Amino acid sequence: MEDAYLLSGDSLNRTEMNKRPYRYDIINFLLSSFTRKTTYLEIGVRNPNDNYNKIMADVKYSVDPGVEFKENPVDFKMTSDAFFERLRNGEHIDRNIRFELIFIDGLHLADQVDRDIEHALAFLKDDGFLVMHDCNPPTEWHARETHGFEFSPAGPQWNGSTWKAFLKARYRTDISSCCIDTDWGVGIISKHINLGATPTIGNPFYEFYLLDKHRKEMLNLLDFERFQQLISKESH
């Protein structure tokens, strides 16, 4: 017997997977907006053919402890916390490095993503961009904390609780943010460009039903065309 709830999850998965552009199209669009050489950092790589190898930056660095992809062909085989600590201490690359773009796609739990945002902002150029994957989970099953539960309407899809860290950043007034409505929600954070207002609706306990009810405003959901217009108005 088919369960309507399971079927609705399946349909939402297909809808999301049919959306375009992909995360790497957005990252490459942002990198191409700079008229200087670009330096890129990816936190959480898994199979580099899925994203990292498609990125067109002049200098690229990758960080992953190798939890999901055993080959793990990255520059820094460690967690993001260890990477940033060593970077602060100047142990592996120049501590004065500042990136044009940092892609945060490591461990998808809110407290970790919150730390990744904080650490990444410190190493981002003033006109650089933070890009975050999985900010717009279609259901609370997709937003579950435990990756392993596959017998739910989300099936194998997992966005984790990344959305909470992104929403926390959305309430800050020293940075500006939006979420492109594609590829499970591609969050963008800038210290420099006004990407839209902070949410007027609160969500002090980070409850999924409130996100679901107000997701357009809470996440500042934009389509890619509108986002391109916003970025094109600015020159680097």
Ligand X SMILES: C[S@@+](CC[C@H](N)C(=O)[O-])C[C@H]1O[C@@H](n2cnc3c(N)ncnc32)[C@H](O)[C@@H]1O
Binding site for ligand X (CB under 6 A): 23, 42-46, 50-51, 63-69, 79-80, 105-107, 112, 133
We find the least distance from the C-beta atom of residue 11 to ligand X, in angstroms, to be 23
Identify which of 204, 173, 202 has the alpha carbon closest to the alpha carbon of residue 189: 173
We find the least distance from the C-beta atom of residue 64 to ligand X, in angstroms, to be 5
Q: Which is nearer to ligand X, 105 or 181 (CB)?
A: 105
Q: Which is nearer to ligand X, 80 or 161 (CB)?
A: 80
Q: Which is nearer to ligand X, 69 or 206 (CB)?
A: 69
**HSE-CB of 166 using CA atoms within 13 angstroms:** 33
Identify which of 92, 142, 81 has the alpha carbon closest to the alpha carbon of residue 117: 81
Q: Which amino acid is at 10?
A: D
Whether the Cβ atoms of residue 63 and residue 46 lie closer than 8 Å to each other: no
Q: Which is nearer to ligand X, 106 or 128 (CB)?
A: 106
Identify which of 99, 24, 103 has the alpha carbon closest to the alpha carbon of residue 56: 24
- The size of the chain, in residues, is 236
We find the least distance from the C-beta atom of residue 119 to ligand X, in angstroms, to be 11
Distance of alpha carbon 212 from the chain centroid: 19
We find the least distance from the C-beta atom of residue 112 to ligand X, in angstroms, to be 6
Alpha helices in 33-161 (DSSP H): 80-88, 110-122
Whether the Cβ atoms of residue 92 and residue 86 lie closer than 8 Å to each other: yes
Q: Which is nearer to ligand X, 135 or 203 (CB)?
A: 135
We find the least distance from the C-beta atom of residue 72 to ligand X, in angstroms, to be 7
